[in-house]
Structures are given as structure tokens and as C-alpha cells.
Amino acid sequence: MRRYTVRKEDLLKIAASVVLILLALAAGGCASNPVPGPDGAAAPETETIEIKFSTWHVPAGAECTDVWDPMLKELEARSRGRISTTAYYGGALGAGEEHYDIVADGLSDMGYFTASWTPGRFPLSDVLSMPVFVGGKDVAVDIGNAMYEHILHREYPDVKVLNLNGCVQSYFWTTKPVRTLEDVKGLRMRSPGGLQTYMIEALGAEPVFMPLGDVYLSMETGVIDGIVTCPQLFYAFNLHEVADHAVVASFGCVAEGVIMNQDSWEKMPEDLKNIIEEVTANPFELTGGLSVEAIDDIMKKLADAGVEFYELPPEEADRWNTLFTEEVVKKWVEQMEAKGLPGKETLQLYKFELDKHGVAFPAYPADW
């Protein structure tokens, strides 16, 4: 019989290998069980889950380049590749006003919707579009999320709301100078919808509704005289090339936010749900896109491009704000109360959150 001799060094190598194998087996036995899938089967942690994200924002705009792109990349990074994302920008899956249903119906898993574009559907959420002066979307989301927790959650039973906001301060952009209420009378102004429509009417102008993509030519040809919108959209659509005047007043903006399809949300493992909530709770703060500092930078670019910003003198500002108080704020509360909705309570909660964040609301009724 052939005899084999084993060197001491080889015995040590074999022993070390055995120890490593035993440690690996022990680690496997102590590992946590995979999170069950929706049908009760275990969903392996290596499984990749795709999230389709949809928005009407133009691909070259700051919303997509500075917020949505880095937000989606952050979801992939924090999940270590277990989440993959596909972005559908520029209304690829449908028009802006359709985006709530695009997500709710499952055409997209996640998306950005604008509540103000579907009048009457989210009535209390219109409080986020009151005539206030919010300087950045990072602040707007903090306020909107607080309002969602307070009272607005009741308006969204069929989707997972990831954040809400009232966008940032809109301006009164025109093709010719405006200095007083008398200059506003009869102007045809593109409205974003929501309460801004009533603000335009209160000033004596005529609200006009059209897609943002049509505004440039309409102002260039004199079909409309201007637009009420936020700086980032005004800049993204190059509207400063045809309208180089802006009145600085408290116009607020539209109510909007990021939502997720309820089924897509419920199918997510718990650890991925946590990641999604952390990343999307305030993507503007997370990425720095459209924050107070970013909006200030856009305003500087517009000024450098030749846009004249006119600050209303205090007496004239009071004239505008008084109209907003009587014709917009109080009437909105009356309309909500007439429908059996807590309009005044909602407005008071909003004022409370604005005060916490140092946001001015000059049209808030002084006797309330």
C-alpha cells in the first residue's frame, strides 16, 4: 500500500480552510430570512425592482437635471442596486394634468403631479397655492409635508404620498412694464391654474389657459401679455427672451408633489420602503436643486439676461394684497366651508407652518 506523507505546513492550510468553511456555514445559518413577497413567497435580497418615474418637466430643466436625476441615482445607490429606475420626462407618458392618474393607475410607479391642474379634485390642497412668498422648494416641501400630516392626507387615499409642496414664489412676468393696478387692467395673463387664476382676476387681468410650451410664441406674437409662474419654469422655457419685466409680489404657486402607485409601494420590501421615504421626503434638500440658494441663482441669471424686477412700493403692495385677501383668501375659505370642508382650520394650520418657517403671508386676514 502506497503511503502518503503530509507536511506540517499543508496540515495548517487544511485546518485553516476547514475553519473558514465552518464560519461561512454559521453565518448563513444566522442570516435574516428574506422579506416575503406579495404572494407570500420570499423575495430574495438580490432581486432588482424597477421604478418607473414620470413627470411633465422638460428634460433640460433644473427639475430634471438638478433634482430628479440625482434623486433617482440616490435610490439606486442606497439600495445597492436593488432598485433600478427609468425616467420618463417631458410628459412622455401623458400631459401634466394627467400625472396623478398616470401614477394611481399604474402606468408609472412614481411621479410628480400638480394638484392645482385638476380643479375641485384636491380642494383643501389648494391652500398650498395661497399668495405667500416661499423662496425655495426645500422650504416648500417642509411646509407641504407638515400640512399633509396635519390634514391633507385625507385627500389622497389611493396613492402613497412621498411629499407635497406649494412650489416657490411666482412672479408677474410681462412683455411691457407694470407699475400699478391700473397697468394690469385688461392684460391677458397665462395662469398656472389653482388660486393664481383668482389672483389674476382680482387684479383686473384676464386669465388664459394654455400649455407652457405654447407661451413663448403667444407672448412673442402678442396673443397674451404675460404669465404668472415660478422663476425656474420661466427660465427653463426661455421666456425671458420675450418677456423682460417682472413684478415682485406675493403670488404663491401651485400645489404639487411626488406620489407612488399604491400597489407598487405595497410590493416593496420594508427596507426599500425606508430608503424610498428617506430619499424622497425632501429631494430638493437632498440634492440642493431648486433650493433657496438655487432659486436665487436662477433669479440672478434672469437679471443678467436683462429681466427688470420691479418691487412694488408699500402702498401699492397693500392695494394688491388687500384684493388677494378679499377676493382669494376669504372666498376660498367660504367655498370650502360651504362644501362642509374645514377651510378656516386648514388656512390657520397653513399660517402656523408658514410662521414656523419664516414665510410671509401678507394677504392673511388681519382679524383671523
Q: Is the pTM of this model over 0.75?
A: yes
Q: Could you read off the pLDDT of 219-236 as tens digits, one per residue? A: 999 999 999 999 999 999
For 312-325, what is the mean pLDDT?
98
Same domain (yes/no): 98, 211:
no
**Boundary residue ending a domain (292, 318, 343):** 292
110 phi and psi angles, rounded to 5 deg:
-145, 150
Q: Could you read off the pLDDT of 84-96 as tens digits, one per residue? A: 999 999 999 999 9
Q: How far is CA 236 from CA 58, 89, 98, 298, 323, in A?
A: 8, 14, 21, 10, 30
Same domain (yes/no): 145, 180:
no
Report the relative pairing of strands 226-229 and 256-261 from DSSP bridges.
unpaired
| 180-209: b (≥16 Cβ within 10 Å) or e | ebebbeebbbbbbbbbbbbbbbbbebebbe
Domain range spanning residue 144?
A: 47-119+134-166+254-292
Same domain (yes/no): 272, 300:
no
Q: Looking at residue 61, which CATH number applies to its domain?
A: 3.40.190.170
The verdict on residue 114 lying in a domain is yes
The verdict on residue 14 lying in a domain is no
**pLDDT at 10 (0 to 100):** 42
| Arithmetic mean of pLDDT over the chain | 91
The verdict on residue 238 lying in a domain is yes
Q: Could you read off the pLDDT of 127-157 as tens digits, one per residue? A: 999 999 999 999 999 999 999 999 999 999 9
Same domain (yes/no): 162, 90:
yes
Q: How far apart are CA 202 and CA 328, in angstroms?
A: 8
Please give the helix or strand (H or E) that residue 319 lies within, else none: helix 314-324
For 254-277, what is the mean pLDDT?
98
Same domain (yes/no): 176, 244:
yes
The verdict on residue 368 lying in a domain is no
**pLDDT at 46 (0 to 100):** 72
Q: How far apart are CA 308 and CA 173, in angstroms?
A: 10
Same domain (yes/no): 318, 209:
yes
**pLDDT at 44 (0 to 100):** 56
258 phi and psi angles, rounded to 5 deg:
-100, 130
Number of structural domains the chain divides into: 2
Q: Could you read off the pLDDT of 326-357 as tens digits, one per residue? A: 999 999 999 999 999 999 999 999 999 999 99
Picking from 15-19, 113-117, 141-145, 157-161, which range would have the lowest pLDDT averaged per residue? Answer: 15-19
Q: Could you read off the pLDDT of 187-210 as tens digits, one per residue? A: 999 999 989 999 999 999 999 999
Q: Could you read off the pLDDT of 266-291 as tens digits, one per residue? A: 999 999 999 999 999 999 999 999 99
